[in-house]
Structure 1
Amino acid sequence: MTALTGLTRLAVTDGSGIDGGLYRRVVGWADAAPHWFNRLVEAWTLLGLGLFALLMLAAWWRARGDGPAVMARVLASPLIVLVAYAVNSGIKGLVEEVRPCAQLRVRDTLETCPGAGDWSFPSNHTVIAFAAAAALWFADRRIGAVAAVAAVLMGASRVWVGVHYPHDVLVGALVGVLVAVPLALAAGAAGPLVERARTGPLRPLLGEGPRAVSARAGRPVGARQD
Structure 2
Amino acid sequence: MSEDLYRDITDFAHDTPGWVHLLAEVWTEAGLLLFGVLFLVGWWRARAFDSRLLAIAVLAPLGTAFGYVVSELLKSVITEERPCRAVAGAAPSLVTCPPYGDWSFPSNHSAIAGAAAVALVLAWRALVWLTIPMAVLMAFSRVFVGVHYPHDVATGLLLGALMAVLFVKLLTGPTRALADSVRGSGSAAANWLAGAGPAVPEPPVRRRRRQAMHRRS
- Give the structure-2-normalised TM-score: 0.86
Q: State the identity %.
A: 41
Q: Measured at CA, do residues 204 and 121 of structure 1 come closer, stay the same or move farther in structure 2, by a change above 3 Å?
A: same
1:83 is aligned, of 59, 66, 69, to 66
C-alpha separation in 2, matches of 1:115 and 1:56: 31
User: What are the equivalent positions in structure 2 for 1:100-139 lying under 5 Å apart?
Assistant: 100-105=83-88, 106=90, 108-139=92-123
Partner of 1:203: 191
User: Cα distance 1:125–1:64, how it changes in 2: closer, same or farther (>3 A)?
Assistant: same
Letter aligned with residue 197 of structure 1: V
Q: Which is further off, 142-151 or 64-73? A: 142-151
Give yes or no for contact 1:67–1:209 (8 Å, CA) kept in 2.
Answer: yes
Letter in 1 for 2:62: L
1:186 Cα deviation (Å)? 2.5
Alignment check: 8 A CA contact 1:59 1:143 kept? no
Question: What secondary structure sits across from 1:138 in the alignment?
Answer: helix
Which range is displaced more, 148-157 or 100-109?
A: 100-109
Structure 2: how far apart are the matches of 1:90 and 1:121?
10
- Counterpart check, 1:40 vs 2:11: no
- 1:191 aligned onto 2:176: yes
The aligned residue for residue 21 of structure 1 is 4
State the distance in 2 between where 1:108 and 1:206 align.
Answer: 50
Q: What secondary structure sits across from 1:198 in the alignment? A: helix
Deviation at 1:192, TM superposition (A): 2.4
Q: Secondary structure at the match of 1:210?
A: coil
- 1:65 is aligned, of 36, 39, 48, to 48
TM-score, normalisation: structure 1: 0.83
Deviations 1:20-50 (A, max 9, x none): 0110110011100011122111110233211
Q: Structure 1 residue 93: deviation in Å?
A: 0.8
* Cα distance, 1:143 vs structure 2: 2.6
Q: Which runs of 5+ in 1 are unaligned?
A: 1-17, 220-226
* Structure 2: segments with no counterpart, 5+ residues: 208-217
Indicate if the aligned counterparts of 1:69 and 1:187 stay in contact, CA closer than 8 A: no
Give the match's secondary structure for 2:94.
coil
1:147 matched residue in structure 2: 131
Q: Which moves more between the two structures, 114-123 or 171-180?
A: 171-180
Counterpart-to-counterpart distance in 2, 1:93 and 1:113: 18
C-alpha separation in 1, matches of 2:74 and 2:93? 25
CA distance in 2, matches of 1:215, 1:93: 57
- Summarize deviations over 1:134-179 as a string: whole Å, max 9, x none: 1111111123442212111110100001000000011111111111
CA root-mean-square deviation:
1.9
1:176 aligned partner: 160
Kindly report structure 1 stretches of 4+ aligned residues shifted beyond 6 Å. none
Q: What residue identity is the alignment partner of 2:194? A: L
In structure 1, how many angstroms separate the alpha carbons of the residues matched to 2:83 and 2:20?
22
Q: Which amino acid aligns with 1:82?
A: A
What CA distance in whole angstroms lies between the structure 2 residues aligned with 1:81 and 1:215?
A: 39
